[in-house]
Structure 1
Amino acid sequence: MSMIANKATTAQITATLEKLFEEHFDKKPESIEALAVSGSDRRYYRITSGSTVAIGTYNTNVAENNTYFYFTELFRRHQINVPEIYHRSKDRRAYLQQDVGKTTLFDLVIKEGYTENVRKLYHKALAQLAKVQWVAGREADYKQCFSARQFDEKAIMSDLLYFKYYFADLQGIPYDRSLLISEMELLSKDLGRVQPQTFMYRDFQSRNIMVHEGKLYFIDFQGGMQGPPQYDIASLLWQARAQLPAPWKEDLLNSYIASLADLHVPRMDEIYFRRGYVQFVLVRLLQVLGAYGFRGLLQHKAHFITSIGPALKNLETFLSGHPQTPNYPELRSLLEKITSRDMQDRYATAITDKEPKLEIQVCSFSYKGGIPKASGPHGGGYVFDCRGLLNPGRYAAYKYLTGNDELVKQFLERETRMPDFMNHVYALVSINVEDYIARGFEQLSISFGCTGGQHRSVYAANELAKHLRARYNVKVEVTHLNEKKWLLADEQPTDTNAH
């Protein structure tokens, strides 16, 4: 099996979590549902037995888990809403925690828009954040942090370089590299001295705030450390995909500062605090672009590619509203080039008034039925053979699932060379797509085959379609040619000895 030594398989992980569930609740789980993951290596499952539900989590980074356990206990002691941890495995790699539903604050922004209800939830979130930072943060032992203990000059410089290497340098924009590094060092040194220092959540954004039974719950705080409180406010109010209106940002910042009086926070210099806030908005915007570049442009994850456009618009809005920030000419010049209209058009994902000519047909098929014939005026197209990858269908846990299922997706992404395979596919297909668009061609066919046309090829077809939709203004149609012959759970043979 193509995976690193001692790495648990998906089947082993689910068995471990099911055992924890049975130990804690004294009942066997009836179902286990893999939950989607994006940027982390943690794996999440919703485990159910009757009305009893828990979230099973598996993470091989024990130091990170220990940090999460520590901060969970600290926050709950201060009546801050975070999921309760029910049970942990002896090796501290697996644990069960409270299920706080499926709805995030971000989901509500997208669904409802900028309603009064959503605005009130943002106010509540910032009031709770202040409590996390200034109350729980006072007694936090930052030696418990699993990576960095403090968001200091080195950490700030690391974020700026993350942006430089993983986003700016990939755009082919000329700039004075030596001067830019010097300016980034000066900016990092300046911001590393900003006071006060409290608990810094590090990734405080609306996707990490759950709305459950009328309450807000915070998740994914294991990256926390000591740092400036302004960074977390900036992370929430300037989240690229949320695009909060400017009046909301000002109102929410004002209410956060006013809420500190209720927590008996020592009097601070508000002008100095607001100046620091503006600077950390910039740092956060650049760090986010670095993350989108790494996850999207290098790892080809469609969600992150589609987020680049809104992030560039966010940065443009910031620069136009703060003509003196950053007050470094080479950095300012680079950022203005990065937010130019040409750059924003490059990453625009919205359908324009001009409908695309190119239509791409992506399909999965079974080699048992032969390679499908290409249709359309140009003929030809790509055919990719997925049979060189480990087949999930060999294992009982996946035999009656398909490439549409989260368990199969995680198996292929973590236990096979599918990510390498897809990176090569993206690179090859992009050559033709870009050429076809430039030449006004109208059709391209791309096929993925595997033994049964149920797992590997289905996954690959779906992922390529997501990538193409995120990267290009084209029509993409996906067809799974062997779908009617898939072996599904409700069609399993009654004879348990059947193979």
Structure 2
Amino acid sequence: MTAKTTTTVISTLEKLFEEHFGKPSEEITALPVSGSDRRYYRLSAGSTTAIGTYNANVAENNTYFYFTELFRKHEINVPEVYKTSKDRRSYLQQDVGSTTLFDQLMKEGLTDEVRKNFHKSLEQLARVQWIAGREADFNQCFATRQFDEKAIMGDLLYFKYYFADLQKVHYDRQTLMGEMELLSKELGRIQPQMLMYRDFQSRNIMLHEGKLYFIDYQGGMQGPPQYDIASLLWQAKAKLPAAWKEDLLNGYIATLNSLPIPRMDEIHFRRGYTQFVLIRLLQVLGAYGFRGLLEHKPHFLSSIGPALKNLEGFISDNPQLLPSYPELRSLLEKISTPEIQARYGGAKTVAEEVKLKVEISSFSYKVGGVPKDKTSHGGGYVFDCRGILNPGRYSAYKTLTGQDELVRQFLDKETQMPEFLQHVYGLVSINIDDYIARGFEHLSVAFGCTGGQHRSVYAAESLAKFIESKYHVPVTVTHHNQQKWVLASEQLNG
């Protein structure tokens, strides 16, 4: 969004807040953006809070509103939508906090309480799929109505083009394409077909006031329920142990037996589950390849190692998998080897042997200029960010910095900063790879802009995350002009 659009969106959300709660909002904070184009803001007035959302894709919003109403009708916990704008691009919804099930798992570990919440999630998922799902109107789905043969083939091609082909391993392309087409046909016929959540993972399950809430279900469609179970239990960074996966799958099946639905063939259901675990693992690798290897987003890049470890374990535990698809199995075995996992931080010994330390800094060309490298060999880069549109030109960003979410969103979506950083990542990676191989101990990278407050700060922080995710080497970040930043608090004090 442009600065003007951002101002208009915030004004619209503030109006919705005042209309719903009868009082104006006192504070609005931008929330982090993930892989989508949606924008989230937390609005508050005292103890009253709500989440304001902007999404230019009206069809996607309408799907979200439809599923929200359907789920709430069947007492499934999802955030209530309070009000929508006339153009249906902005809406105000219930604030269910910021703690996800994934956050709880990372903080507390494999505790009984965490396991109970995973069980509760699957119990509620069963109601989504089999109770709400039996009256769902799939014509309301904004993109794909059904996870059929074409959709499955789309996921397999996503994996092939955005991950497998980037690993530079040999395989017979014609044979592989033929096997993928046959596999898509086989899985596209699997029954039953219920309401499939599509992205059911622990980051989309919120913990709020003792309850679980589901979010990000606008991608729902008709499809096999096993896919959603696989998405949750095989989430790469969650690293759930095999005993948990089996216990949770058993719990889900027990829930189905208690619901007022026809009995299903458990053996057939479990076989389908195993097949869709594979499809989900490959779809996720495709997403990580696209967002991580091509778009260089650190979160996705850091997830590749765990995802490959997941795939390696799955193939090892299922030796009879894919008997009719030898070329596909051979490819999966090649890309999940310890050597390829090591490329993405999959082997701790690699990081332990590295001596390299990277120092990253931002500076102002106007004040201070290029910082001096104090190391012995002086190796590194200096990048000029002044060719990127400056957020500091706009009043909405003038007293913010490259560390603030609003500025990060502006630079990421409204400027050429992503393209600029892709070139930076590529150049810096060449030296890091070489320095690690040769045992060098230091590399410096500096980013400059006019004031050393917005563009250079954002670039420095982004490169640090990229290097930490890809190489797992020590990185320090210094902002040389920080003491001279123009901040809102200073203007008020002045």
Normalized against structure 2, the TM-score is what? 0.97
Query: Secondary structure at 1:55's aligned position in 2?
Result: strand
> 1:185 corresponds to which residue?
181
The one-letter code matched in structure 1 to 2:398 is: K
1:108 to 79, 104, 107: 104
> 1:385 corresponds to which residue?
384
TM-superposed CA distance for 1:8, in Å, is: 6.2
TM-superposed CA distance for 1:101, in Å, is: 0.6
Query: Secondary structure at 2:352's aligned position in 1?
Result: coil
The one-letter code matched in structure 2 to 1:361 is: E
Query: Secondary structure at 2:86's aligned position in 1?
Result: coil
| 1:364 maps onto 2:362 in alignment | yes
- The whole-number CA distance in structure 2 between the counterparts of 1:421 and 1:411 is 14
| 1:464 maps onto 2:463 in alignment | yes
TM-superposed CA distance for 1:487, in Å, is: 1.3
TM-superposed CA distance for 1:489, in Å, is: 1.8
Alignment of 1:329-348 (within 5 A): 329-348=326-345
Alignment of 1:143-158 (within 5 A): 143-158=139-154
> 2:11 corresponds to which residue?
15
> 2:158 corresponds to which residue?
162
Confirm or deny: 8 A CA contact 1:356 1:473 kept in the other structure: no
> 1:398 corresponds to which residue?
397
1:202 to 190, 198, 202: 198
> 1:481 corresponds to which residue?
480
Residue by residue, what CA displacement relative to the aligned partner does 1:436-487 show, whole Å, maximum 9, x if unpaired?
A: 2222222111110111111111000000011111111322110000111111
TM-superposed CA distance for 1:261, in Å, is: 2.1
The one-letter code matched in structure 1 to 2:344 is: Y
- The whole-number CA distance in structure 1 between the counterparts of 2:472 and 2:436 is 9
- The whole-number CA distance in structure 2 between the counterparts of 1:351 and 1:16 is 49
Q: Please say which of residues 28-37 and 98-107 is displaced more in the overlay.
A: 28-37
Confirm or deny: 8 A CA contact 2:309 2:346 kept in the other structure: no
Alignment of 1:407-422 (within 5 A): 407-422=406-421
Confirm or deny: 8 A CA contact 2:306 2:346 kept in the other structure: no
- RMSD after superposition: 1.4
TM-superposed CA distance for 1:333, in Å, is: 0.3
Confirm or deny: 8 A CA contact 2:379 2:442 kept in the other structure: no
Unaligned segments of structure 2, at least 5 residues: none
Alignment of 1:198-237 (within 5 A): 198-237=194-233
The one-letter code matched in structure 2 to 1:75 is: F
CA 1:349 to 1:16, structure 2 compared with 1: closer, same or farther past 3 Å?
farther
Normalized against structure 1, the TM-score is what? 0.96
Confirm or deny: 8 A CA contact 1:448 1:460 kept in the other structure: yes
Paired residues, number = 491
Confirm or deny: 8 A CA contact 1:349 1:470 kept in the other structure: no
> 2:27 corresponds to which residue?
31
Q: Please say which of residues 73-82 and 342-351 is displaced more in the overlay.
A: 342-351
Q: Please say which of residues 465-474 and 236-245 is displaced more in the overlay.
A: 465-474
> 1:247 corresponds to which residue?
243
Confirm or deny: 8 A CA contact 2:196 2:220 kept in the other structure: yes
Query: Secondary structure at 1:114's aligned position in 2?
Result: coil
TM-superposed CA distance for 1:293, in Å, is: 0.2
| 1:313 maps onto 2:283 in alignment | no
> 2:53 corresponds to which residue?
57
Residue by residue, what CA displacement relative to the aligned partner does 1:312-358 show, whole Å, maximum 9, x if unpaired?
A: 01011110111111221000000000111101111116754734221
TM-superposed CA distance for 1:106, in Å, is: 0.4
- The whole-number CA distance in structure 2 between the counterparts of 1:305 and 1:494 is 42
